[in-house]
Amino acid sequence: MGESLSIAIITVSDTRTEANDTSGDFLVEALQGAGHQLSGRSIVVDDRFLLRAALSNLIADPNVQVVLMTGGTGFTGRDSTPEAVAPLLETKIDGFGELFRQLSYAEIGTSTLQSRALGGLVNNTLVFCMPGSTGACRTAWEGILKTQLDSTHRPCNFAELLIRGHH
């Protein structure tokens, strides 16, 4: 494990509470288990403007280096995470969604087409949006985020970009 990053979590849900946010719980345990610091955790209803406001506050906070969002990435009328997040990103990390769907395909087959997982960089803050299921969060963490947020991972990782402060 390289340098510790400061990571915030937003669970996007109209129904989850602190008592049953298993996806948020998994991400907290995973990031802390990898030596990172939890800098904040919230549950925000699936509304693009409330999501944008919550994310904007974290992006503006110099103490937050990474925001992990879970939920709201599907195709139902209430799923608005991509629409909320995409306009805020300075640089999209297309490979995050592509790789997530590739890994997810091995687990759920063509149903992964309904995942609009995305990632990007804004104001020297990484933002990753993944589906709301705990299994999807595990796939994203174990298959992508754990190593890409480890500053010792080679040949390259996203943590180094944050630590150096340029992108």
Specify the CATH number for the domain of residue 94: 3.40.980.10
pLDDT in tens, 43-56: 999 999 999 999 99
Question: Considering its fold, how many domains does the chain have in total?
Answer: 1
Confidence band for 166, pLDDT divided at 50, 70 and 90: low
**Residue matched to tokens 């805020």:** 88
Residue closest to 129 by CA, chosen among 55, 76, 39: 55
**Coil/strand/helix, residue 16:** coil
The mean of the pLDDT values for the chain is 95
Taking residues 77-93, report their average pLDDT: 94
pLDDT band at 112 (very low <50, low <70, confident <90, very high): very high
The residue among 161 and 19 whose pLDDT is bigger is 19
User: Residue 69: in which H helix or E strand, if any?
Assistant: strand 66-70
Per-residue pLDDT, 75: 87
H helix or E strand, kind and range, residue 151: none
| pLDDT of 25 above 90 | yes
pLDDT at 129: 98
> How many residues are listed for the chain in this entry?
167
Look at residue 63 and tell me if it is in a domain.
yes
| Helix or strand holding residue 4 (H, E) | none
Give residue 158's pLDDT.
94
Q: Quote the tokens at residue 75.
A: 């195709």
pLDDT over 90 at 161, yes or no: no
Q: What is the pLDDT of residue 62?
A: 94
Q: Above pLDDT 70, what percent of the chain? A: 98
Tokens of 15: 């129904």
For residues 117-127, one letter each, b for 16 or more C-beta atoms within 10 angstroms of the residue's C-beta and e for the rest, the string is bbbbbbebbbb
**Could you give the CA distance from residue 134 to residue 132 in angstroms, rounded to a whole number?**
6
Backbone angles phi, psi at 126, to 5 degrees: -85, 140
Domain membership of residue 62 (yes or no) is yes
- Residue where the block lists tokens 């610091």: 37
pTM for the structure as a whole: 0.96
Q: Which two tokens stand for residue 85?
A: 């997040």
Range of the domain at 28: 6-164
The reply to whether 1 falls in a domain is no
Q: How many CB atoms lie within 10 A of CB 83?
A: 13
